[in-house]
Amino acid sequence: MSEYLPGLEGVPATQSNISDLDGKRGLLTYRGYRIADLAVNSTFEETALLLLDGRLPTHEELEIFDQQLRSNRIVKYNVREIMKYLPATGHPMEMLQTAVASLGMFYQGDDCLTGGAVCQDLNYVHNMSVKIIARMATIVAMWEHVRNGYDPFPPRKDLNYAENLLYMFSGEDPDPLMARIMDASLILHAEHTINASTFAALVAGSTLASPFLVIAAAVGTLAGPLHGGANQRVVEMLEEIGSPANVNAWLDKKLASKSKIWGMGHREYKVKDPRAIILQTLMHELMEHRGGNMGPMFETALALEEACEEKLAPKGVFANVDFYSGILYKEMGIPPDQFTSIFAIARSAGWLAHWREQLGDNRIFRPTQVYTGQSERDYVPIDER
């Protein structure tokens, strides 16, 4: 193929059996299982293992995996010391990329990937996946305290993944509903076919880089506002609007200037993002749990989505996963600049599933280009220019 397609839109970059989506029907599946079913019936731990191994685990398999995750939550004090010397004003995603990349120096064991041979040791791949998924949440929650000058709360083995994440943020036992909502949010963000950050993981993995560097590459890619960083921008946008009464005038102004409406539209979906539908349902459940008492941001979001549907739906632009995820995280007390880090925690499961798949039939990525520069010419000495 010699045709240049910006952003590689529509160009197959790999073959995968991990996830699939139907943008016209608004359907997303992990290993064939509908995301709506997994969000209601599964857990993040089970979903992560489904993505990694390709099938729903037995009770015994899930118990073993869960215990492995719980036993690998602690990180070496060296990582905490590195975090202490990072600027407190730095973005959490920059910290996360730095910390994840450093893990390979403290948890070595890349012999499986050396010598140019593709690693076929599934025990190695599984164990490295466990170490990374388990420690992603620890690192993100640690930073919230370190950057504010406090020692972080140590992880607890008696809590599940979502519960422990919320506990490490607050130091308090999480509300059961909040923990369930966080668990569902992690499931919804765990995987989404070959997006930008997953492609970055594939490219890094194809070089046989260590899995820590593979995930670091994906984290850096996810950080951009056109990818994972959009959920933070949604909250900032809603704060700018202020109240439902301001929605229509604000939206008209933005549309007239052709400005981006954060959380609206998706390259793949021509209908409302199925993940946004589930998150909106969880938002209503949380509102009911609180006796109808929610912050004005949720009311503003509902009004904005209604206005956008009237003006943008005919163009196939609907709410995506970022529109409601940031609002939910804010209700959980998580700072807006940490929203994308929560996204990265969840997506590490999908990234590692793709890393494993890439190793199974590896060939280094080396795309071509369409050259638009000067034709061949002679060098001119500097005195003659």
> What is the 3-state composition of the chain as percent helix, strand, coil, each rounded to the nearest 5?
60, 5, 35
Q: Which of 183, 189, 192, 266 is catalytic?
A: 266
Tokens describing residue 296: 């004005």
What is the rounded distance in angstroms from the CA atom of residue 197 to the CA atom of residue 203? 10
What is the rounded distance in angstroms from the CA atom of residue 244 to the CA atom of residue 274? 24
What is the rounded distance in angstroms from the CA atom of residue 217 to the CA atom of residue 97? 8
Is 121 noted as a catalytic residue in this protein? no
Number of Cβ within 10 Å of residue 295's Cβ equals 12
Instruction: Cite the DSSP H helix spans in 159-293.
Output: 161-170, 176-189, 196-206, 211-222, 230-241, 247-256, 274-289
Is 126 noted as a catalytic residue in this protein? no
Pair 202, 217: CB distance under 8 Å: no
- 19 forms beta bridges with 30
What is the rounded distance in angstroms from the CA atom of residue 99 to the CA atom of residue 232? 21
User: What size, in residues, is the chain?
Assistant: 385
Nearest-Å Rg of the Cα atoms of the chain is: 22
Q: Are strands 19-22 and 33-34 parallel, antiparallel or unpaired?
A: unpaired
Q: Which of 189, 273, 322, 354 is catalytic?
A: 322
What is the rounded distance in angstroms from the CA atom of residue 210 to the CA atom of residue 368? 25
What is the rounded distance in angstroms from the CA atom of residue 297 to the CA atom of residue 293? 12
- Amino acid identity, position 294: M
Residue from 32, 347, 57 nearest 188 by CA: 347
So which residues are the catalytic ones?
A: 266, 322
